[in-house]
Amino acid sequence: MLKRMVLSLCFVAALCMPAVAEFQLDSRYQDTDGDLVADIPADPSKQIDPSTLIFAYTPVEDPAVYVDVWKGFLDHLSEVTGKPVQFFPVQSNAAQIETMRAGRLHIAGVNTGSNPLAVACAGFRPFAMMASDDGSFGYEMEIVTYPGSGIEKPEDLKGRVLAFTAETSNSGFKAPSALLKSEFGLERDKDFTPRFSGAHDTSILGVANKDYDAAAIANTIKARMIDRGVVKADQLKTIYTSQTFPTTAFGMAYNLKPELQEKIKEAFFSFDWKGSKLLEEFSKSGDTKFVPITFKDDWAVIRKIDEANGVEYSCN
């Protein structure tokens, strides 16, 4: 059974604020079926069939670790599609989206908060997500501090430094911004000093090393870092845990040939996780397989958070 999202009354109020800008795709894309993602071009001359497929996973502190983690899957993807697949380590969410928009990235794992922007501006077509054996998926945003910081609850963040990751991140910026304002009356720059680390693992390390007073992070990343011994559990203390959000979505560029898109989907859903580096790494946060998702349904709560934060999807 899929994890249910239970919202506090205050957060519901925040999410039900009038939308500043209704979600819509950039003018270069069509959505005739109303699923909120770009259609595959009907004109075959506008469809592409790259000789080599480029794959990128969401930005992480040490991309070299994930080159090895993804190798077995990318070998499987290559076998199913009949094309070489190259891992492309991206340094930021913005760079990942821009690379796909420019046509140089074909398949990607895009983080939760960046999905609406990738869909709207880069023609990203998400179709899969990692999940546990029972089909449940997702993660929680946590606000963490270090023991002895003097921060015991979110209200104690007043006057302190809180690390975010990037403005496109759900758990690293969007959700905590909405939650802190709606539930605790705390606004960035006014009540606390924000810092942007660029990545969840950087924020976690920053708190563990006492560079930041606290940080808003995804708890699945924290779990994997603790399991790898990058940080110790006793270096961090959680003062807030959110509802469950969908996690990284995997998808592809809208203009790949339809038969290639089907083969890419086939590769994801036919991959045998047993004994794989993918299982070794992601089972640390409970993930053991890929499951199908839809942007329209599974990202509805994320689009509402964007509305509450006044986010506009500028594709210029």
21 CB contacts (<8 Å, ≥6 apart)?
A: 307, 311, 312, 313
Q: How many domains does the chain have?
A: 2
Question: In this model, does residue 186 exceed pLDDT 50?
Answer: yes
For residues 93 and 18, state if they share a domain: yes
Mean pLDDT of the chain, nearest integer: 90
For residues 193 and 286, state if they share a domain: no
For residues 212 and 264, state if they share a domain: no
For residues 183 and 72, state if they share a domain: no
For residues 16 and 86, state if they share a domain: yes
- Where do the DSSP E strands lie in 73-206? 85-87, 107-110, 124-131, 139-145, 161-164, 193-196
For residues 84 and 20, state if they share a domain: yes
For residues 62 and 114, state if they share a domain: yes
Q: Quick one: pLDDT at residue 147?
A: 98
For residues 119 and 177, state if they share a domain: no
Chain centroid to CA 16: how far?
23
Question: In this model, does residue 312 exceed pLDDT 90?
Answer: no
Question: In this model, does residue 100 exceed pLDDT 90?
Answer: yes
CB atoms within 10 A of CB 141: 24
Question: In this model, does residue 55 exceed pLDDT 90?
Answer: yes
Q: Residue 162: give the domain boundaries.
A: 139-245
How confident is the model over 61-85, as a mean pLDDT? 92
Q: Name the residue among 139, 124, 147, 133 with its Cα closest to residue 171.
A: 139
Q: What are phi and psi of 33, to 5 degrees?
A: -95, 0
Final residue belonging to a domain, choices 208, 229, 245: 245
How confident is the model over 39-52, as a mean pLDDT? 98
Cβ proximity of 85 and 53 under 8 Å: yes
284 CB contacts (<8 Å, ≥6 apart)?
A: 223, 224, 227, 228
Q: Quick one: pLDDT at residue 10?
A: 33
Residue 288 to residue 25: CA distance in whole angstroms: 32
Cβ proximity of 212 and 195 under 8 Å: yes
For residues 98 and 71, state if they share a domain: yes
Q: Domain for residue 298, yes or no? A: yes
How confident is the model over 91-100, as a mean pLDDT? 92
For residues 164 and 302, state if they share a domain: no
Question: In this model, does residue 11 exceed pLDDT 50?
Answer: no
Rg value, the chain, Cα: 19
Residue 245 to residue 3: CA distance in whole angstroms: 9
Q: Quick one: pLDDT at residue 72?
A: 98
Q: Where residue 260 sits, what CATH number does that domain have?
A: 3.40.190.10
Question: In this model, does residue 96 exceed pLDDT 60?
Answer: yes
Question: What Cα–Cα distance (Å) separates residue 67 from each residue in 79, 86, 88, 125, 227?
Answer: 18, 10, 9, 23, 19
How confident is the model over 153-161, as a mean pLDDT? 97
For residues 240 and 252, state if they share a domain: no
Final residue belonging to a domain, choices 199, 220, 245: 245
For residues 111 and 16, state if they share a domain: yes
Question: In this model, does residue 18 exceed pLDDT 70?
Answer: no
